[in-house]
Structure 1
Amino acid sequence: MAKVEKFAFHVPSLEELAGVLQKGLKENFADALVSVVDCPDLTQEPFTFPVKGICGKPRIADVGGVPHLLPLVQKDKVYDLNTVAKEIELPGAFILGAGAASSRILGVNAELIPIAQTETEQKHAVNASYTARINPTDGGCLLEKYKYSGFGLLANLFASQGQPGKVIEVKANGRTGQHNFITCLRHILEKHYGDKPVGMGGTFLIQKGKAKMHIMPPEFSACPLNTDEEVNNWLKFFEMKAPLVCQPVIVSRDPGFDLRLEHTHGFSHYGEGGHYHNDTTPDSVEYLGYFMPAELLFRIDRPKETHLIGRD
């Protein structure tokens, strides 16, 4: 049984959070508007999620970690979304986020874009997850539906009861700062709340522009990857066009659990997806996001030996 550690986040009101983000985003984007709104119906396009919202007992799970992948892979590190839902004390949770697909199931290494309502004793799971992997025929991106609950190595997950309710809407156009959309949000939270960690998750659209994304190669590295440069030489990078639907998980500051502070995967309806790094069209990019602050953090199976490589 994986060790589970628990921590209560600082949870600002939505109104306070909207004000903090509004002020900070103006330093990074030409145009930014943050407001408290009713969560749009996420079962509709372009989201096509199995639930209507991201509200109800919101929490974050940081499962495993990059040290299970680097410098050399630990293939015995396997997890399950349905089990995670129970470990975070929310069976039947709706889960969004970013992780690694199960190489045992797929036979290859791949990015996991988890979008799933987990099972309960009364209801079967509803899985709308995707994987993005390298297409063996042309070296491009192969985006496929992933009907399994198993995953491997690591994941950063935002979970809730999947209910409608009030959320924070963030509109940001024309990036003027160096950092990507999610790093901007995280830095704003860290600067304002300092040593009171705030967690946040949800979904955002890249409505216009293009983004730099990566997909892990199908084969794990046979030689140790010991630096960020070695990791980046191993990863396959792509420029993907809007519209992209992304699932971020953000923690403003690590309260001592060896967390990955931000992790975002995304998919499209035209057949591409992967791990989001930044937009490549800062002048024309348009973001639209819906976020909820998390109440609790669950750290599941924290790596015994750790490092900070490969966490961007």
Structure 2
Amino acid sequence: MSSQSQLNTSQLCFEEKPLHVPALEELQNVIQGALLKNFKAASVSVGACPDLKAPQYGLVESGLGGKPTLLEVGGPPYLLPLVQRDKLYNIAEITRQIQGPGKIFAVGAGAGPYPIRSSNCEGIYNLSVSAKDELTNGSYTATVRGEHEECVLERIPSTEPRCALLLNLYLSRGEAGNVLKISAKQRKGELNFIECIRKGLEDHYGDQVVGLGGIFVIKKGAAHQHVMRDFSTTPIHTDDEVNEWLKFYEMPAQLNALGTLVTKEHDLDLRLQHFHSFSFSNWGGHYHYDTTPDIVEYEAYLNVAERVVRVDKPLATHKVGRD
């Protein structure tokens, strides 16, 4: 593919469904109850979002308010069993079509724009599009490099609006406002942090589909995370084969993870949870679970989404590669 190649946004299929939007105070109680089953200490409150542009968070906008929306583009069927290299998407154009006029703030997880790295890579997305369509890209890629297969974290330039293959974003105007402020320490259960929240919501709301997005920070401890190796030249058909192809690392705190969760697929073939983290060193990748339950500390700022938009949903789907 050429360095400027991308799919024509106007020719992609956009589908939209409303989400159930409980009050933050209601979500507070549900999530705290779920977390206390899985962590020795947990607290959830509703309050003003901290300035996410502050150095410890490192985002390009300050808040998570204003037209909160979940977006999923593409999906694992475009990666597995063999990559479909034409699946390059312009995030700025897609989010503009969804959010309409004004500023757009997007955070989340996807496959990175492989042409700029000459390799498959993870994308950790943190970007804004101004009302005049100026892109500010604070996103990163994480790539497996060299004979020692080191994790290399690199900024994506503001001249690069693309992702590849699959993407899960939380969209907003980046406005100040109330959010769910979550802290959890010392994991005692088997569920990872996001799984615990998502399953707690699913158990409570049943067929009412609830979606959240934002940031969580692993402040202490370490996490089991993967970075995709370069595209496989042989077909990958099972999760065992996926795990042989992925490169796993134990990544130390601090890790800042961005992404989305939703309680049901909503007949849109949605990925139920997807968070990628960056660091202030070389580490970045796809969050699976912490590996230091006795000392781990999580801090999260999440908001509830009003709707979900599905773009370029694969017609032929499968459930491989969705952990």
Matched, 1:252 2:263: yes
Task: Report the aligned-residue RMSD.
Answer: 1.0
Structure 2 CA distance, aligned partners of 1:90 and 1:297? Answer: 15
Per-residue Cα deviation, 1:213-261 (whole angstroms, up to 9, x for no partner): 10001x2111111000000000000000001111121001111001111
Task: Kindly provide the amino acid, as one letter, of the partner of residue 50 in structure 1.
Answer: V
Secondary structure of residue in 1 paired with 2:235: coil
Give the TM-score normalised by the residue count of structure 2.
0.94
Task: Kindly provide the amino acid, as one letter, of the partner of residue 287 in structure 1.
Answer: Y
Structure 2 CA distance, aligned partners of 1:33 and 1:17? Answer: 12
Matched, 1:59 2:72: no
Q: Are the equivalent residues in 2 in contact too, given 1:97–1:157 (CA < 8 A)?
A: yes
Provide the residue aligned with 1:114 in structure 2. Answer: 125
Identity %: 45
Among 268, 286, 305, the alignment partner of 1:294 is: 305
Matched, 1:33 2:43: yes
Among 127, 142, 154, the alignment partner of 1:144 is: 154
Query: How far off is 1:123 after superposition?
Result: 4.9
Secondary structure of residue in 2 paired with 1:277: strand
Provide the residue aligned with 2:177 in structure 1. Answer: 165
Provide the residue aligned with 2:294 in structure 1. Answer: 283
Among 23, 43, 62, the alignment partner of 1:13 is: 23
Residues 202-281 of structure 1: matches in 2 within 5 Å?
202-217=214-229, 219-281=230-292
Structure 1 CA distance, aligned partners of 2:17 and 2:294? Answer: 39
Q: Are the equivalent residues in 2 in contact too, given 1:6–1:298 (CA < 8 A)?
A: yes
> Runs of 5+ in structure 2 lacking a partner?
1-10
Which range moved further: 175-184 or 82-91?
82-91
Task: Kindly provide the amino acid, as one letter, of the partner of residue 267 in structure 2.
Answer: G
Structure 2 CA distance, aligned partners of 1:173 and 1:206? Answer: 10
Among 11, 22, 26, the alignment partner of 2:32 is: 22
Q: Are the equivalent residues in 2 in contact too, given 1:82–1:119 (CA < 8 A)?
A: no
Q: Would the alpha carbon gap of residues 114 and 309 (structure 1) be closer, same or farther in structure 2, given more than 3 Å must change?
A: same
Among 163, 188, 191, the alignment partner of 1:179 is: 191
Structure 2 CA distance, aligned partners of 1:104 and 1:177? Answer: 41
Q: Would the alpha carbon gap of residues 90 and 28 (structure 1) be closer, same or farther in structure 2, given more than 3 Å must change?
A: farther
Per-residue Cα deviation, 1:64-112 (whole angstroms, up to 9, x for no partner): 0000000110001110110121232345310000000122232110000
Per-residue Cα deviation, 1:186-227 (whole angstroms, up to 9, x for no partner): 10110000000000000010000000010001x211111100
> Runs of 5+ in structure 1 lacking a partner?
none
Q: Are the equivalent residues in 2 in contact too, given 1:28–1:175 (CA < 8 A)?
A: yes
Secondary structure of residue in 2 paired with 1:23: helix
Give the TM-score normalised by the residue count of structure 1.
0.97
Residues 62-77 of structure 1: matches in 2 within 5 Å?
62-77=72-87
Count of aligned pairs: 310
Per-residue Cα deviation, 1:101-160 (whole angstroms, up to 9, x for no partner): 12223211000001000243x251111000000122631110000112111100001000
Among 73, 78, 95, the alignment partner of 2:88 is: 78
Q: Are the equivalent residues in 1 in contact too, given 2:67–2:99 (CA < 8 A)?
A: no
Q: Which runs of 4+ in 1 moved over 3 A?
A: none
Secondary structure of residue in 2 paired with 1:222: coil
Secondary structure of residue in 1 paired with 2:198: helix
Q: Are the equivalent residues in 1 in contact too, given 2:180–2:301 (CA < 8 A)?
A: yes
Structure 2 CA distance, aligned partners of 1:175 and 1:87? Answer: 41
Task: Kindly provide the amino acid, as one letter, of the partner of residue 58 in structure 1.
Answer: P
